[in-house]
Amino acid sequence: MRTAINDLRALIRQHEHKYYIENQPEISDAEFDVLMKELETLEAASDAPIPPDSPTQRVGGGAVLGTRIPHRNPMLSLNNSYDEQELREFDERVRRLLEDAPTEYVTELKIDGLGVSLIYEHGVLTRGLTRGDGEYGEDITDNLRTIRSVPLRLVETETPFPAVLEVRGEVFIPKDRLNEINVQREADGEPPFANPRNAAAGSLRLQDASITAARPLDIFIYTLNYAEGVEFTTHTASLEMMKRWGLKCNPHTDCHQSIEDVQNYYERWVAERHDLRYETDGVVVKVNEFSHQNELGTTSKYPRWAIAYKFNAQQAITTIEKIEIQVGRTGVLTPVAILKPVTLAGATITHATLHNEQEIQTKDIRVGDRIVLERAGDVIPKIVEVLTADRTGDEVVFVFPDRCPVCGTSVERSEAEVAVRCVNVSCVAQLKRRIAHYASRNALQIEGLGPATIAQLVDKELVRDVADLYTLEVEALSKLDRMGVPSASNLVYHIAQSKTAPVEKVLFGLGIFHVGETVAELLIEYFLSLDTLSKTTLEEIESIDGIGPQIAESVVNFFSQNQPLLDKLREAGLHCFTVETESIRPEASAVPDSFFSGKTFVVTGSLEGMTRTEASKEIKARGGKVTSSVTSKTDYLIAGEGAGSKYTKAVDLDIPILTAADFFEKLQQGDA
């Protein structure tokens, strides 16, 4: 049995390598899934512990993300050069310091993502860190493990693995996949990521590795930083070895004997970089010989043996024809520049967000201005400069409205935010957006309820809030423009269907400020129902891991003002108020009494044989509550190996502490 499992693991690793690293799959996705399922089944049936480098173990773990850990040696940055002159100066400095020894240069693409360090012990991935401040990185092991092109175990070669191997590389999100994520984020009421780098950084620092796993992250390894007991003479030799170990290195790496060749490589990629699946912001030029690198050394910030030769950001010049105000779902007024259409990096640009009033003032942006538009790795074009010298005098200063352009209510400017907001909750612009959000794919998913229909429903006052959707009848609907009886019946059917939506979808659909999909799930995992959530305190919401004071305040405010809306939804017959919907965890009331019932627990440290997430599930399944911080309301702290500040706090507050063994015993008592 054990060999069967091991053979299967090796086979899956081989296929993962073919697919994610070499981009040459040998079997179909379906065949791959069958192998994975088979492995899962064998592992479940076996008594042997599942090793952490098994292909089934990409998501899980439960280690605390974000612990600060020192790097073996600093993760330095690169000095930049922007033109051929600066490149030549770099070459001259290198030659002078090396006293004209023949110098070979390696050129690589500079990937625009997030630098990370990966540590393998005897071939098994044991730790992953962010670059952090260069001296200390953050522990993001669990999130890095979810990246399919990061091998959990290296490929064996004729020599044993080094006891410790540290490699460094860049995690990124492919360009095309970023668009998908942004469409999704906008539907979730979250701001889009401005560039692939932010998207990669945001994804790697998520507290929940299962969310990271769903992000299309990829990696290129560019440095072998340390290999215990193994010496290489050149950077290219180390790259070759890393590839043989199954690490993913970028294929567009070349060797050059002269700086002219380096310039040619750069020029080739100035032209061809747009065809790549990922964003690059330049070329990295490195001295190949390690003995030369050592001789050249580093400054406190940069190595003297490498330089980043950056690409120019892509720019275009156009004119602002108009500035419009959009009113968002939460009432925020966003100015948008309507541009004379212009092509930039292969796309026609007609709009550019101006973000807020302050942005218009600081950049002194006027209607009629000629402006420089830039897309530098940024998917969303931004206005980088106003060509004030081109002004004719006909440009018009934009006066930010004092009233909502849709409903006419006076706007509010808060001290804390730069945002200007229409505070009229009945503003039809907001209402239309709120309904669209409620009906969107990730909320209540009401098919057939598009913007044109919503606009008519609101304008004809058939719908004044989302609950009114449930009062709509075929007859009234069929009288709307472009809506016959068949589409109207269809819509009524889909609206009725939406009553069965799980509670977290309804919560997300309510469009509470700062409550995106993930936050909605976290809240429901903790509170189970809208009724409990609507009656809770700020402090309790804040105690949930991943939820900060801003979100908590927004939730409490929403429920203090919207009880009538909740009542209307309940009356409309939404299942989440009455029956147990397909909630993300079972209702506590269904659970028989146990030691855990009604008590609040905090779990910390590592519990041998169980992740903290599993422990939380067990507690919740027995009617207990799990929070993330120790307060006077905590009944017990469950402290595993390596418990830290939570332990100290529990001792300070006199909170009883259960060891992992005590906890397992209590679980078993309940089961008996």
Piece in contact with ligand IVH (CB under 6 A), picked from 37-45, 110-118, 477-485, 551-559: 110-118
Per-position b or e across 9-19, b if 16+ CB within 10 A of its CB: beebbebbbeb
Annotated active-site residue in 18, 110, 286, 646: 110
Kindly tell me which of 58 and 131 has the beta carbon lying closer to ligand IVH.
131
The 8-class DSSP code of residue 294 comes to: H
How far does CA 283 lie from the centroid of its chain?
A: 26
CB 301 to ligand IVH: min, Å: 10
Query: Locate tokens 């493990």: which residue?
Result: 145
> Hey, how many other C-beta atoms are within 10 angstroms of the C-beta on 579?
9
Tokens of 41: 């089944």
CB 388 to ligand IVH: min, Å: 32
CB 173 to ligand IVH: min, Å: 14
Please state whether beta strands 280-287 and 136-138 pair in parallel, antiparallel, or not at all (unpaired).
unpaired
Piece in contact with ligand IVH (CB under 6 A), picked from 107-115, 226-234, 409-417, 602-610: 107-115
Q: What angle do CA 103, 109, 115 make, to 5 degrees?
A: 105
Q: Is 325 one of the binding residues for ligand IVH (CB under 6 A)? A: no
Q: Is 106 one of the binding residues for ligand IVH (CB under 6 A)? A: no
CB 292 to ligand IVH: min, Å: 14
Please report, in angstroms and rounded to a whole number, the separation of the first and last CA atoms in the chain: 32
Q: Is 130 one of the binding residues for ligand IVH (CB under 6 A)? A: no
CB 350 to ligand IVH: min, Å: 32
For 535, the enclosing helix (H) or strand (E) is none
**Closest by alpha carbon to 638, among 606, 614, 668?**
606
**Length of the chain measured in residues:** 672
Cβ atoms of residues 162 and 229 within 8 Å: yes
CB 391 to ligand IVH: min, Å: 37
Residue nearest to ligand IVH (CB): 115
CB 273 to ligand IVH: min, Å: 13
Kindly tell me which of 170 and 289 has the beta carbon lying closer to ligand IVH.
170
Q: Is 284 one of the binding residues for ligand IVH (CB under 6 A)? A: yes
Per-position b or e across 601-618, b if 16+ CB within 10 A of its CB: bbbbbbbeebbbbebbbb
Q: What backbone phi and psi angles, to 5 degrees, belong to 165?
A: -130, 125
Query: Locate tokens 């919207």: which residue?
Result: 562
CB 73 to ligand IVH: min, Å: 10
Spatial distance between the Cα atoms of 149 and 146, rounded to a whole number of angstroms: 9
CB 131 to ligand IVH: min, Å: 6
Kindly tell me which of 222 and 647 has the beta carbon lying closer to ligand IVH.
222
**Closest by alpha carbon to 192, among 205, 180, 175, 206?**
180
Contact pick of 55, 61, 115, 192 for ligand IVH (by CB under 6 A): 115
Piece in contact with ligand IVH (CB under 6 A), picked from 73-81, 147-155, 405-413, 471-479: 73-81
Piece in contact with ligand IVH (CB under 6 A), picked from 106-114, 459-467, 482-490, 554-562: 106-114
Kindly tell me which of 306 and 643 has the beta carbon lying closer to ligand IVH.
306
Binding residues for ligand IVH restricted to 218-257, rule: CB under 6 A: 222-223
Kindly tell me which of 94 and 111 has the beta carbon lying closer to ligand IVH.
111
Contact pick of 303, 405, 448, 502 for ligand IVH (by CB under 6 A): 303
Tokens of 350: 């007609």
Contact pick of 11, 36, 42, 76 for ligand IVH (by CB under 6 A): 76
How far does CA 567 lie from the centroid of its chain?
A: 35
> Hey, how many other C-beta atoms are within 10 angstroms of the C-beta on 20?
17
Kindly tell me which of 222 and 664 has the beta carbon lying closer to ligand IVH.
222
Tokens of 185: 């984020």
- Does the active-site annotation cover 110? yes
Q: Is 105 one of the binding residues for ligand IVH (CB under 6 A)? A: no
Number of residues that bind ligand IVH (CB under 6 A): 15
Question: Amino acid letter at 269?
Answer: W
Kindly tell me which of 115 and 192 has the beta carbon lying closer to ligand IVH.
115
HEC per residue, 218-235: EEEEEEEEEECCCCCCEH
Q: Is 108 one of the binding residues for ligand IVH (CB under 6 A)? A: yes
Kindly tell me which of 112 and 540 has the beta carbon lying closer to ligand IVH.
112
Kindly tell me which of 115 and 670 has the beta carbon lying closer to ligand IVH.
115
Spatial distance between the Cα atoms of 34 and 28, rounded to a whole number of angstroms: 10
Q: Is 138 one of the binding residues for ligand IVH (CB under 6 A)? A: no
> Hey, how many other C-beta atoms are within 10 angstroms of the C-beta on 163?
13
Please state whether beta strands 411-413 and 366-367 pair in parallel, antiparallel, or not at all (unpaired).
unpaired
Contact pick of 111, 147, 576, 602 for ligand IVH (by CB under 6 A): 111
Q: What angle do CA 100, 103, 105 make, to 5 degrees?
A: 145
Sign of the torsion angle spanned by Cα atoms 425, 429, 435, 440: negative
Q: Is 306 one of the binding residues for ligand IVH (CB under 6 A)? A: yes
Q: Is 170 one of the binding residues for ligand IVH (CB under 6 A)? A: yes
Q: Is 78 one of the binding residues for ligand IVH (CB under 6 A)? A: yes
Contact pick of 23, 77, 426, 563 for ligand IVH (by CB under 6 A): 77
Q: Is 343 one of the binding residues for ligand IVH (CB under 6 A)? A: no
CB 117 to ligand IVH: min, Å: 10
Q: Three-class SS of residue 286? A: strand
Cβ atoms of residues 130 and 138 within 8 Å: yes
Largest CA distance in the chain: 89
Spatial distance between the Cα atoms of 230 and 163, rounded to a whole number of angstroms: 10
Spatial distance between the Cα atoms of 171 and 149, rounded to a whole number of angstroms: 10
DSSP per residue, 78-133? --EE-SHHHHHHHHHHHHHHTTT----EEEEEEE-SEEEEEEEETTEEEEEEE-TT
Q: Which residues pair with 606 in a beta bridge?
A: 641
CB 175 to ligand IVH: min, Å: 15
Kindly tell me which of 36 and 76 has the beta carbon lying closer to ligand IVH.
76
Piece in contact with ligand IVH (CB under 6 A), picked from 71-79, 186-194, 523-531, 655-663: 71-79
Spatial distance between the Cα atoms of 95 and 519, rounded to a whole number of angstroms: 56
For 385, the enclosing helix (H) or strand (E) is strand 382-386
Kindly tell me which of 281 and 521 has the beta carbon lying closer to ligand IVH.
281
Kindly tell me which of 306 and 349 has the beta carbon lying closer to ligand IVH.
306
CB 80 to ligand IVH: min, Å: 7
Tokens of 110: 């500079």
Residues with a known catalytic role: 110
- Name the site residues for ligand IVH (rule: CB under 6 A): 76-78, 108, 110-111, 115, 131, 170, 222-223, 284, 303, 306, 308
